[in-house]
């Protein structure tokens, strides 16, 4: 029986709650569909940082490299470790080290879930550049604390980076409804974003079957509220994609439903799957967190591992559960009850 080796990093807060829920569901799906999952748990978290001075060991990236995929719950416990330390010590280095340049986030309403909008028939796939751009980490500070203090943070856009994320978007659009919206701010940012627009136009020639729209990020924010049903695949830079996918989460009913995959498309390194929500310290360990975003991310992981039938079965089960009104409103059902209902549907 093929066994997929999974690195599990529950991380902090509700990351632990939803990782446990997800693994129950994934293991049940594996047993039913004739494959095995071999998880190895890494207790890398803010607690690890407090005990060792590091979020993960020095060779952490090397330890992860041998796995077929990584599942991550959430990172962050700002009461004891600043987010800028915890995220740059664990989540962000993994995305960069493994060249997980495509961050994919689906936004659509599950049956029974009422979002805040009148529109309900939208199905958006946001693709966020995940390794460079505004989050490249290039910059510095001088004269700290003095009145001549300077902070510089450079957004870096390379031809390789921009081309590959756009190609990824074109391919996804081709496999879906054939429409790509490229999001920039080229009316104000006249170097990087004009460059991005040019590359989009160049590549479009290779994808005559895909229609392309160029939109500015500000107009895009409005469009996602006013007419989300007109969107198919949306490609954006790291910062813009980060913001748009929280907006996407909001219109799909909240962060409890927002799944994501950090994909290394050439498969030279493991990809990482995680819900979009964070660690939510205020509700951690209280059986309150909605596990659906994490379980959906887990289904995306199985799909990536070639277990598409099991992945679809999990999504079908999740949809049956929300259609019954379970897990659709904050606080209506606990983590365990939602997970149990999904397991029942799966069986």
Active site residue ranges: 135, 185, 218, 242, 246
Element spanning 107, H or E: strand 102-108
Tell whether residue 232 is a contact of ligand IPM (CB under 6 A).
no
Alpha helices by DSSP H, 177-291: 192-204, 217-226, 238-251
Q: What residues between 272 and 291 interact with ligand IPM by CB under 6 A?
A: 276
Inter-CA distances, 61 with 6, 144, 212, Å: 14, 32, 37
For Mn ion, the closer CB: 242 or 307? 242
For ligand IPM, the closer CB: 16 or 341? 16
Assess contact for 273 and 301: CB atoms under 8 A.
yes
For Mn ion, the closer CB: 242 or 274? 242
Tell whether residue 129 is a contact of ligand IPM (CB under 6 A).
no
Which residues have CB under 8 Å from 83's CB, separation 6+?
76
Using CB under 6 A as the criterion, what x/- string covers residues 58-87 for binding ligand IPM?
-----------------------------x
For ligand IPM, the closer CB: 87 or 343? 87
Bridge partners for 234 per DSSP: 126, 181
Residue 61 binding result from Mn ion, ligand IPM, none, given CB thresholds of 5 to 8 Å by partner type: none
* Distance in Å, CB of 184 to Mn ion, minimum: 19
Could you write out the DSSP letters of every residue in 31-44? HHHT-EEEEEE---
Q: What residues between 222 and 251 interact with Mn ion by CB under 5 A?
A: 242
Distance CA 95, CA 57 (A): 16
The count of residues interacting with ligand IPM (CB under 6 A) is: 3
Assess contact for 221 and 181: CB atoms under 8 A.
no
* Distance in Å, CB of 103 to ligand IPM, minimum: 7
Distance CA 6, CA 101 (A): 20
* Near ligand IPM by CB under 6 A: residue from 242, 303, 307, 345: 242
* Distance in Å, CB of 205 to ligand IPM, minimum: 32
* Distance in Å, CB of 160 to ligand IPM, minimum: 20
Assess contact for 110 and 253: CB atoms under 8 A.
yes
* Distance in Å, CB of 135 to ligand IPM, minimum: 7
For Mn ion, the closer CB: 82 or 325? 82
Longest dimension (CA), the chain: 65
Which residues have CB under 8 Å from 24's CB, separation 6+?
339, 343
* Distance in Å, CB of 242 to ligand IPM, minimum: 4
Return the sign of the alpha-carbon dihedral for residues 303, 259, 223, 185: negative
Residues that bind ligand IPM (CB under 6 A): 87, 242, 276
Which residues lie near Mn ion (CB under 5 A)? 242
């Amino acid at each position: 029986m093929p066994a997929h080796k999974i690195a599990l990093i529950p991380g902090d807060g509700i990351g632990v709650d939803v990782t446990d829920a997800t693994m129950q569901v994934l293991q049940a799906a594996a047993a039913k569909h004739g494959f095995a999952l071999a998880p190895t748990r890494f207790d890398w978290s803010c607690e690890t940082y407090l005990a060792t001075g590091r979020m993960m060991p020095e060779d952490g990236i090397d330890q992860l490299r041998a796995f077929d995929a990584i599942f991550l719950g959430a990172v962050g416990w700002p009461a004891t470790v600043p987010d800028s330390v915890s995220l740059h010590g664990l989540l962000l280095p993994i995305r960069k080290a493994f060249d997980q340049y495509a961050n994919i986030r689906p936004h659509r309403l599950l049956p029974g879930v009422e979002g805040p909008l009148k529109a309900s028939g939208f199905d958006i796939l946001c693709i966020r550049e995940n390794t460079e751009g505004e989050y490249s980490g290039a910059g510095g500070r001088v004269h700290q604390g003095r009145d001549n203090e300077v902070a510089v943070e450079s957004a870096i856009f390379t031809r390789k980076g921009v081309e590959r994320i756009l190609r990824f978007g074109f391919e996804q659009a081709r496999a879906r409804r054939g429409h790509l919206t490229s999001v920039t701010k080229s009316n104000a940012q006249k170097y990087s974003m004009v460059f991005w627009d040019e590359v989009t136009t160049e590549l479009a020639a290779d994808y005559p079957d895909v229609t392309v729209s160029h939109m500015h990020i500000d107009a895009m924010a409005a469009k996602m509220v006013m007419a989300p049903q007109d969107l198919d695949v949306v490609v954006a830079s790291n910062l813009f994609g980060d913001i748009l996918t929280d907006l996407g989460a909001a219109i799909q009913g909240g962060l409890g439903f927002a799944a994501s995959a950090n994909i290394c498309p050439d498969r030279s390194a493991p990809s990482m799957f995680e819900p979009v929500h964070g660690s939510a310290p205020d509700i951690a360990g209280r059986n309150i967190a909605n596990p659906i975003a994490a379980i959906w991310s887990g289904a995306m992981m199985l799909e990536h591992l070639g277990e598409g039938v099991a992945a679809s079965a999990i999504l079908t089960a999740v949809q049956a559960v929300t259609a019954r009104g379970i897990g659709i409103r904050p606080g209506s059902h606990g983590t365990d009850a939602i997970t149990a209902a999904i397991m029942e549907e799966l069986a």
